[in-house]
Structure 1
Amino acid sequence: MTGGSGTGATTFSPPVQRLRRFGLQRGWPVIGAASRLARATLARRKPVIAVVGSYGKTTTTAAIAAALGLPRPRFGNAFAGPALDLLLRGASRKPLALEVGIGRKGQMIRHARAIRPDIVVVTSIGTEHARSLGDQEGIREEKARIFAGMRSGGVAFLNGDDPHVRAMARHVPGVVVTFGFGADNDVRLLDRQLDWPYGTRLEIDRFGERVTVRTRLLGRIAAYPVLAALAVAHRLGHDRREAVAGLERLEPTPGRLRLTRLPQGNWLLGDEHKGNLETIHAALDVLEEIPARRLVVMGEIHEPPGSVGPLYRALGARLAGIATHVVMVGSRKSFLSLRSGARQAGLSPEVFTHAGREWRKAFDILTGLLQPEDVLLVKGRDRQRLMRLSLALTGRPVSCGLVDCALPMPGCHVCPRL
């Protein structure tokens, strides 16, 4: 058994991880019923915070836990995981921050009934799970079912910059608080400065109170978890200085825009966990601000929302304005579309290299490219497991050569098959 995952969950060997996931899935009816009973009795006075959304859930949950001085969830965001966390921690009156994830219709209402949140934080509505949940409107409506379980007097904290999230306000039976960059948000960002390579300096208006946070998180996207956490801390009456101190201690989660100094004197920006289009552009937003020579290892788009060719060509055009070299790990067809878009935007096709589907080939290519103080973004679809490339670049031995990995592991850094 090994500690540590994206959400602070306990991790296990692949066979045990599969068994654990199977147990959480098959045991959901029983665990959910027990959680409902606990919520009505032992945990009835416990403030429960549910974090939902297409992306940004893990970092936002971690930020809320850091601001409030709480442990992170142990059992993940899927199936009976949130209910089991509530069941095992229900006796304490300390708040409980839970990450709640879904992959199919009908799952969110089960979460809502099992955990009965007092506070719901909605981070974003994107295109992930479009195949099972439909378009963004369908995804939004399915995620909004969490409010069916919200307890009396509950509060919803909504990302006010996301129109799909704002539209969820009509489902909220209690108070709505918005956070974001726009001037009409209740908790809003006033100023943001990249503090390279440390992180980001944020100036925030929290209900009329000015708050400064120097976070280890990078870029524009880093502001949203901090804004949400400060808003929740205010609602729960938590000391502002303690909340800020907790947020400033928060480290980026592995696989989610985590910055690492490499032995050769360059920098690795690892964002290997998800590859949906919204997170790709968010990662490129961060990279674009960094004052250095910028390289990208680009994996495949996860669940592309539309025709694949135009999406890759548009992505190539974006890369042309940011990167000095791009290494593509994926199909040749995707690579050709990516390179075509970059060429049309003015970038020489010679700086685009195809590594096939092998992360090891990408490693060999990078060996001859990286220079001191370069910044390398590694971004890919979860099942590509490009974290293996990142770990190899740090000098860690990596023997796994799987091209497509479906193991239910939170990251390659904790997998015994590495």
Structure 2
Amino acid sequence: MIALTLSHITSVLGGTLRLAGTDTPETVVDGTVDTDSREIGPGGIFVAKPGETTDGHVFVGAAVAAGAALAIVERPVDADVSQIVVPDAVTALADLAREVVAIVRAEEDLRIVGITGSNGKTTTKNMLARILESQGETVAPRASFNNEVGAPLTMLRVRRSTRFLVSEFGASGPGEIARLAGLVEPDIAVVLMVGMAHAGGFGGIEATFHAKSELVRALRTGGLAVLNADDTRVRDMAPIAAERSGTVRWFGQAPEADVRAEGIEVTASGTRFTLTADGQTLPVTLRVLGAHHVMNALAAVAAATALGVTVADCVAGLESLELAERWRMQPLGSERVRIINDAYNASPDSMTAALRTLAQITAPGERMVAVLGAMSELGEYAGEEHDRIGELAVRLRIPRIVVIGAEARRMFISAISEGSWSDEAVFFPDADQAYDYLMTELRDGDRVLVKSSNSAGLRFLGDRLGESFS
């Protein structure tokens, strides 16, 4: 974090300052801000956030032992560290992030990009960050730090030397993106797609549209909206950008897209396509598996070129990225048995894309195996969407379908109803039983997709299989 005095921070947070040791209101702090005491280092600021299963106040002592110079708390704690007592620690975290970014933006040339969408946020964030890192100091979220805690923590890593801030905005309900994006008012708002992910929390696809459009509404006046030309709902966000006196830059495969892809070819080693942007046409080879990641790459290029990066530098950045993120289309195992661990997030759209990728990268003589778990946060749509995925797996002629967990059982039933007989589709209540089965079933030449939402825990099964066949 940038250097601020204790009195300045207290004023921003509207809290009460309790000094410790030799500290005064003019004592300056500039360490890393975190809600996890294990991530605190010398001079750090620990935010004691109450949680569902534990309370951050219990860990103030551990944070002090690690070198914390300040604790932001909701009640005073018996610890030898200066404390700012606030009504709500999460609100305080957001207020501090807003202030830090505003100060740097006012004094330096900081450009801010916000990214949202039902799928692809983290991959796009990583692609854009990789491109921008070659141009100047870039701050981007670790993993999927995109919620009410993760987004402000990322913003608080901004320094006066930071040139680019890439923020990823996720949400499970209306208003969340508006609150988070409102902290920084991005110069560029990237919207990838509007799909069924989190539809249960939003209340349907139209409500999802309104939630994702909150990022465009949060644009800085005169900013740029980078929108998916192939998604009709995202296209409908163009008038919202106009309300902010903003302009639109389109990406996609549509002929009218400003940044577009042609000739997409998916292989087991990566994805190739021809990129057209800013009047230039260049070949691109992504090491990230799956045709769906081409759209993420186009979005990253559209944002980066708007920030002044050359198309050639964009391609170099994209081609240097070996993995989108751990547990996202992550190749494991060996050429003998290849495991694709994509079990960190799952929605109907990403599940469909992953299954199609499995079919595309499996060569003649090799066998497809789909290991599938539940898609979470679909609410009333859960049953029909799990049915649809089970049916799709059969229609893609996947000869081994392994469904795990009670919440995913309808995939198994639908696969059988669609024609997956004679043990082609099997069901197991938990991952351990599925692992035992797979260790006897998998054979040389198998290409295995492990796909589920994070809550299903199949990412760990994917890791186990990857290690077993490495």
Shorter-chain TM-score bucket reads: 0.7 to 0.9
Alignment correspondent of 1:37: 99
Q: Which has the larger radius of gyration?
A: 2
- Asked if structure 2 preserves the Cα contact closer than 8 Å seen for 1:157 and 1:179, the reply is yes
Q: Are 1:351 and 2:438 counterparts? A: no
Alignment correspondent of 1:157: 226
The 1:372/1:28 distance shift into structure 2, 3 A limit, reads same
Map Cα deviations across residues 234-262 of structure 1 (whole Å, 9 max, x no partner).
11111333322221111221111111234
The 1:148/1:35 distance shift into structure 2, 3 A limit, reads farther
Alignment correspondent of 2:249: 177
Matching residue within 51, 61, 68 for 2:115: 51
Alignment of 1:232-247 (within 5 A): 232-247=303-318
Q: Residue 313 of structure 2: SS of its match in structure 1?
A: helix
Q: Distance in 2 between matches of 1:380 and 1:373?
A: 23
Given residue 303 of structure 1, which amino acid in structure 2 is its aligned partner?
A: E
Deviates more, 1:281-290 or 1:232-241: 232-241
Given residue 426 of structure 2, which amino acid in structure 1 is its aligned partner?
A: T
Alignment correspondent of 1:100: 169
Once the 2 structures are TM-superposed, how far is the Cα of residue 305 of structure 1 from its aligned partner? 6.0
The 1:338/1:394 distance shift into structure 2, 3 A limit, reads closer
Q: Distance in 2 between matches of 1:15 and 1:79?
A: 18
The 1:32/1:338 distance shift into structure 2, 3 A limit, reads closer
Alignment correspondent of 2:403: 328
Alignment correspondent of 2:284: 213
Q: Are 1:147 and 2:213 counterparts? A: no
- Asked if structure 2 preserves the Cα contact closer than 8 Å seen for 1:154 and 1:175, the reply is yes
- Asked if structure 2 preserves the Cα contact closer than 8 Å seen for 1:73 and 1:85, the reply is yes
The 1:10/1:390 distance shift into structure 2, 3 A limit, reads farther
Deviates more, 1:209-218 or 1:15-24: 15-24
The 1:133/1:14 distance shift into structure 2, 3 A limit, reads farther
Q: Distance in 2 between matches of 1:311 and 1:112?
A: 30
Q: Residue 77 of structure 1: SS of its match in structure 2?
A: coil
Alignment correspondent of 1:401: none
The 1:20/1:132 distance shift into structure 2, 3 A limit, reads same
- Asked if structure 1 preserves the Cα contact closer than 8 Å seen for 2:331 and 2:340, the reply is yes
The 1:339/1:143 distance shift into structure 2, 3 A limit, reads closer
Q: Distance in 2 between matches of 1:21 and 1:208?
A: 52
Q: Please, what TM-score do these two structures have when normalized by structure 2?
A: 0.75
Once the 2 structures are TM-superposed, how far is the Cα of residue 309 of structure 1 from its aligned partner? 4.7
Map Cα deviations across residues 363-385 of structure 1 (whole Å, 9 max, x no partner).
11111111112110001121111
Deviates more, 1:102-111 or 1:308-317: 308-317
The 1:330/1:118 distance shift into structure 2, 3 A limit, reads same
- Asked if structure 2 preserves the Cα contact closer than 8 Å seen for 1:43 and 1:93, the reply is no
Once the 2 structures are TM-superposed, how far is the Cα of residue 138 of structure 1 from its aligned partner? 1.1
Q: Are 1:282 and 2:353 counterparts? A: yes
The 1:273/1:13 distance shift into structure 2, 3 A limit, reads farther
Matching residue within 338, 347, 368 for 1:267: 338
The 1:200/1:19 distance shift into structure 2, 3 A limit, reads farther
Q: Distance in 1 between matches of 2:400 and 2:48?
A: 42
Q: Distance in 2 between matches of 1:247 and 1:11?
A: 32
- Asked if structure 1 preserves the Cα contact closer than 8 Å seen for 2:373 and 2:404, the reply is yes
The 1:90/1:13 distance shift into structure 2, 3 A limit, reads closer
Alignment correspondent of 1:299: 373
Alignment correspondent of 2:435: 363
Once the 2 structures are TM-superposed, how far is the Cα of residue 266 of structure 1 from its aligned partner? 0.8
Given residue 414 of structure 2, which amino acid in structure 1 is its aligned partner?
A: G
Given residue 353 of structure 2, which amino acid in structure 1 is its aligned partner?
A: A
Give ranges in structure 2 of 5+ residues lacking alignment.
Answer: 1-32, 41-45, 57-71, 75-87
The 1:21/1:214 distance shift into structure 2, 3 A limit, reads farther
Map Cα deviations across residues 203-243 of structure 1 (whole Å, 9 max, x no partner).
11113311221111112101011101111121111133332
Once the 2 structures are TM-superposed, how far is the Cα of residue 319 of structure 1 from its aligned partner? 1.0
Alignment correspondent of 1:399: none
- Structure with the larger RCO, 1 or 2 (CA within 8 Å, 6+ apart): 1
RMSD, aligned CA: 2.9
